[in-house]
Each structure stands twice: as C-alpha cells, then as structure tokens.
Structure 1
Amino acid sequence: MDYSRRSFLREITTASLGAAGAYWLPTLAPEKTAGNKAFDAIPQEGRVLFQGDSITDAGRDREAEAANTGLGRGYAFLAAAQLRKTLAERNVQCFNRGISGHKVFQLADRWQTDTYDLDPDLLSILIGVNDFWHTLNDYDGTVEVYERDFRNLLIQTREQLPDARLIIGEPFVILEGSAVSEEEWMPDFREYQQVAKEIAMEFEAGFIPYQSVFNEASKHVESTYWTADGVHPTLAGSQLMAEAWLQTAQRL
C-alpha cells in the first residue's frame, strides 16, 4: 500500500502503543468528567477569584490582568487548570489576586479593584498566616484584630456581591518547617484557625480544613514533603491544596 509518511508514523505508533497496552484516548466530554458532582456555584462564563497572600500569589504575573492568565504556580493555578478542563463547556474565567505578605487589612485596602470590579461568582479567600506570623516581628495585630477585620471585610463583600458564593481556606502551618518555631506558633496560631472556621460558618461559606488535610497527608510521608518551610507549599503541597479546593467547590 502507498502510505504517506504521516499516515505511516501514525499507524506504527498506534500499533506499538497498543501492543504495549498503553494506548488510550482521553474523554472529551468535560461535563461528565469523573468527580464532577456539581460546581453549581459556577455558571456559564462564571468568574472564579482566588484571593490571599503569598500562598495564593505563588509567583503570579501581576501585570497579567486578563482571565486565565498570570495565575502563578501554586494551588490557584492547579485548581483553575482542572476547573477549566472539567467545565470546558462553561468557559470558566479564573483570576488570581493574591499578594505576598498581605494580611486582612491589606486585602480590604485593595478590595474594590481586586474583587468588586472583577464581580466574581465564586470568591475564594485564604488569609491569616501573616496576621499571626508578622506579630513575631514588627506587627502589633492580635487575633481580635484578625477577627474584626475579616468579619468587616465579608460584611462589606456581602453588601457589594450579594450573589457571590464564598470559600474560606483555613490558615495552616507545618511545625517541622524550617521557618517555624513550635514554641512561638503554638497554641496562639490555633486561635486564628478557629476564627477562620467560625467566620466561614457565619457567612455560609465553604470551608477548607487545610490543617487537617496536611496533617493527614503527613501520616504517610515527612510533613516537609508538603511544605519545606512550614508555610509555603511545595509542588506536591500545592496539588494537595488544589484537590481540597476542588472538592469544596464541587459541593457549594
């Protein structure tokens, strides 16, 4: 037979992979992807906004303002990638506006431009580690300040974005990390985690128990596999966070 070069290569590649038992084709039915239980909080052309500090920032390109660009290399990027693949027919628009080092009051200072103007259908917030961590240096905040600022921010958000659904991530820490001292962090940091949980309940937000997620994962490998410094996740830790985020978003 008179094969073209392209046809010939396709035939032998298919035959070789098939013989090895490795030939497969991915599904192209995104709305029926395994694990897609609902995502009812995200409509057609829905907007998803990730907000927070350096864990969300994850080296994003702050000059990239368009949807689905400049998402960084952390959990927000990984979650957005899976979300857009799973909900391809909805053409979900994802944004990352996390900024390294930020505390709640700094979110509030930029909330108009970085949140209200984007008009998200789903707003995800992970904030709190700096509200505590920086008190060990030159910040005079307290857990009461964190609670007051966070609650006020969400009260205003509910007024401006009454239909937006919320996800709140629990601030977390790995005590074996190189940047963390258990003596300095515990038990005070747990109060910040409790505040985040209570506020999530108060505002009927999806809550991601990241501390439990990392604690459970650390039963199988060293905890620093997930975050070397105890605060910023590794690649594997970011994937762990993304999966927990997606599971929460599915159920809103």
Structure 2
Amino acid sequence: MTSSLDRRHFLSTGIASAAAAGMLASGSAKAADSPASAESIITPGSTILFQGDSITDAGRKRGIPEANDQAALGGGYAFLAAAELLVDHPKAELKIYNRGISGNKVNQLAARWQEDCFDLKPDVLSILIGVNDIWHHLNDDLEKMLEVYGNDYQELLTRTKAELPETKLVLCEPFVLRCGAVNDKWFPAFDNFRAAAKQMAEEFDTIWVPYQTMFDEAVKLAPPAHWAGDGVHPSAAGAALMAHGWMTAVSA
C-alpha cells in the first residue's frame, strides 16, 4: 500500500513540475519563434520521429516496426509527448516513432540515418544530441571535439535537408544539470556545444527547444537532482517537463 510519505512526495513532484511548466509556457514559445513555428507543425497524418541518445531512448524496446507502440517509445519525454499528441488528436492518424539509441554521438546518428530516419520519411523530425559528444571526451581536446560536433551536425542536417526537403526539423538544446556526474570539468566547454547546436537551428531555420533554459528555471523550484539525478538523464519530473517544453515549441 502506498504510504502517506510516498503520496506527499508524488504531490510535491507534481506541483513543482506544473509550476516549472507554467514558467516555460511563455519563455519557450518566444525561443521557438521562427517562420517554421508560426503555427503547430503537427498536422493530420503526420509521421513524427524522435532521434537522439539515451535521453531520447529512455529504455525503449528495439525491433518493433509499428508506430505508436508504448514499449517502442520508451519511458521518457518522447513517450510523454507522443502520448499527449495521441490523446489530443485521436482521429489525426499520427504515426510516432522513437529511434534514440543510448550512447550515440552525432556521427553514430549519421551511420544509421538511412534506416532510422530516411526510410521512415518523417514529416516532423526531432533531434536531441550532444551530451555524449562531450561526456565521452572530457579528458580529450574539447575544442577539437567541439569542431567535430559542429561539422558532423552540419553535415547530418545538410544531408537530411537534401533527402527530406519538406520535413520540419525540431532541434533540441543539449542540457546538463550541476549534480551527479556533471562537475566543473564540463564547463565552459558544454556551453560551447549548446551554442553550436543553437547555431545549427538558426542556420537550418528549425524549431528550437530551449531545454537548458527550461531546466535553469526549473532548478529555482527544486534542486537539480529532482530533475536529473546524475545531471544528464531526466527523472520522471524532468521527462515530463521536457515533454511539455517540446509540445510548447512545436505548437507555438
């Protein structure tokens, strides 16, 4: 049986999430303001693809080709955003996929892009990538890795635009919270990776989901570990906040 302590914890989590979501509602829409985001980019019959690393993967089950499968969507922000879309638009015949893979960097997305992106022919393609491009190289030349990240990302998006010129792109800001695995060694390099991703969004005129900005506001309501225990992978509260941020950006 659920204890009163557990219930209080659940309620406090929900209240903090709702408050942070309320703060995000205005800020995210402004950050996403661009010709592509003048109205919702989700239209009836859309195929929506979430791509990225473990934050997107969120324990999804592999090998399920069908759209809208709960196990295949994982347990993170992609699933929560998909669930909201499917509830809000039950007759829209949306097809939603998650092809995030834990540990991926940009070059690993590129290596599987034909099967896990082009073959699905998404109408909306959402990409969150970057944390592993720095996390896996903290002891290396981070300036060089930043250059690799930027070049690889630009090449991937150029290739995507050529293959899928009508696809609407959603780029998500890489983010970390200062707790768990995230320490001073990450900075200021990580901010430069974020800036590189934002530059890609501007260059390719995409929707931009400002996740770092969102979490910077959220930690005013609850400590970083509430949103992401290791500083990288979101908790249930963090994933819910991410889904809200994503939905706000694509519906602005």
Give matches, 1:40-189, under 5 Å.
40-69=40-69, 70-136=72-138, 142-175=145-178, 177-182=179-184, 184-189=185-190
Q: 1:106 and 1:198, CA in 2 relative to 1: closer, same or farther beyond 3 A?
A: same
Q: What amino acid does structure 2 have at the position aligned with 1:48?
A: I
Q: Calculate the TM-score normalised by the size of structure 1.
A: 0.81
Q: How much has 1:38 moved relative to structure 2?
A: 8.4
Q: Shift of the alpha carbon at 1:137?
A: 5.2
In the TM superposition, residue 126 of structure 1 has moved relative to its aligned partner by 0.1
d(CA) in 2 for partners of 1:38 and 1:76? Answer: 22
Q: Distance in 2 between matches of 1:105 and 1:238?
A: 25
The aligned runs of 1:214-229 (5 Å cut-off) are: 214-229=215-230
Structure 2: tracts of 5 or more residues without a match: 1-36
Partner of 2:14: none
AA paired with 2:238?
Answer: G
2:114 aligns to what SS in structure 1? helix
Distance 1:211 1:93, change over 3 A: same
Shift of 1:39: 6.1
Count, aligned residues: 213
Amino acid in structure 1 at the alignment position of 2:146: V
Q: Matched residue of 2:136: which SS? A: helix
Q: Distance in 2 between matches of 1:172 and 1:40?
A: 24
Say whether residues 1:246 and 2:247 are aligned partners: yes
In structure 2, the residue matched to 1:201 is 202
Q: Which residue of 2 aligns with 1:231?
A: 232
Structure 1 unaligned blocks of 5 or more:
1-36
Q: How far is the alpha carbon of 1:226 from its aligned partner?
A: 0.2
Q: Give the drift of 1:89.
A: 1.9
SS of the residue 1:88 aligns to:
coil
Match of 2:156, SS state, is helix
Deviations 1:142-162 (A, max 9, x none): 101000000000000000000
Aligned residue type for 2:43:
P
Deviation at 1:42, TM superposition (A): 2.4
Q: What is the identity, as a one-letter code, of the residue corresponding to 2:171?
A: I
1:106 is aligned with what amino acid? Answer: Q
Three-state SS of the structure 2 residue aligned to 1:198 is: helix
Write the letter of the residue equivalent to 1:56: T
Residue type of the alignment partner of 1:117: D
Matched residue SS, 1:125: strand
1:223 Cα offset (Å): 1.4
Distance 1:88 1:137 in 2: 48
